[in-house]
Amino acid sequence: MIDLHTHTFFSDGVLSPFELVYRAKNNGYTAIALTDHVDYSNMEFVISNIVRVTKILTESYDILVLPGAELTYIPPKLIKCVTEECRKLGAKVVVVHGETVAEVVPPETNIYAVEANVDILAHPGHLSEKEAEVAAKNNVKIEVTTRKGHGTTNKEVVEIALNKKAKLVLDTDTHNPENLLTKELIAQILSDSGLPGYYYDIMQKNALEIVNGCY
């Protein structure tokens, strides 16, 4: 299992990077990205600390651990600039906190994110056809999330993304141990999203594209 959207206690998660990764490995994960919330106020601190431990974690627990960041509440016109800065700091996976229906997010976050060539647009809420088209063109993956609240529009997101040939990934947006992927959770989310069971393999291949692009 590959999960490219998780949080540690470097933002609003409850686990240390070491405990999160060990628990993920125990659940059967093969790769995980640590993508704590960042903006201009904390990105250097968060990314540098995540980068510092990912090699140790990968070697110690025999699971690929990628340093990442979730750009959260960034003024939309600054998303491209912040993305570039995060990559320079060592973030291998850049996720943008999309316009979820569960929170008030700056309008146009979705479109600026897919135009900025980030890796994943997370929980995009009411994904528009234009956003999906641009995501497909720029190979930005659209997230189907297992997280309650954010996942309310999963079925809508899936329909629009597939119609415009945008690629989907399944992520957890993990904040606590109970959020981590299990086979049962995957099956439930696929069913709720209107996807056949075999589609998880396709989503994993899409996630693997991101992983392979990190090196």
What would the mean pLDDT of 113-125 be, rounded to a whole number?
97
Q: Which of 176, 173, 118 is nearest to 151 (CA)?
A: 173
The reported pLDDT for the residue numbered 56 is 97
- Cα R_g (the chain), whole angstroms: 16
pLDDT tens by residue, 146-165: 999 999 999 999 999 999 99
Taking the C-alpha atoms of residue 207 and residue 110, their distance in angstroms, rounded to an integer, is 19
The reported pLDDT for the residue numbered 144 is 98
Taking the C-alpha atoms of residue 61 and residue 21, their distance in angstroms, rounded to an integer, is 8
pLDDT tens by residue, 55-109: 999 999 999 999 999 999 999 999 999 999 999 999 999 999 999 999 999 999 9
DSSP 155-187: HHHHHHHHHTT--EEEE--BSSGGGS--HHHHH
Whether residue 125 is predicted with pLDDT greater than 90 in this model: the reply is yes
Assign residue 119 the CATH number of its domain. 3.20.20.140
The reported pLDDT for the residue numbered 190 is 98
Total tally of structural domains belonging to the chain: 1
User: Percent of the chain beyond pLDDT 90?
Assistant: 99
The reported pLDDT for the residue numbered 168 is 98
Whether residue 124 is predicted with pLDDT greater than 90 in this model: the reply is yes
Whether residue 138 is predicted with pLDDT greater than 90 in this model: the reply is yes
pLDDT tens by residue, 170-191: 999 999 999 999 999 999 999 9
The reported pLDDT for the residue numbered 109 is 98
| pLDDT level of residue 215 (50, 70, 90 thresholds) | confident
Mean pLDDT value across the chain: 97
- List the domain range (segments joined by +) for residue 136: 2-212
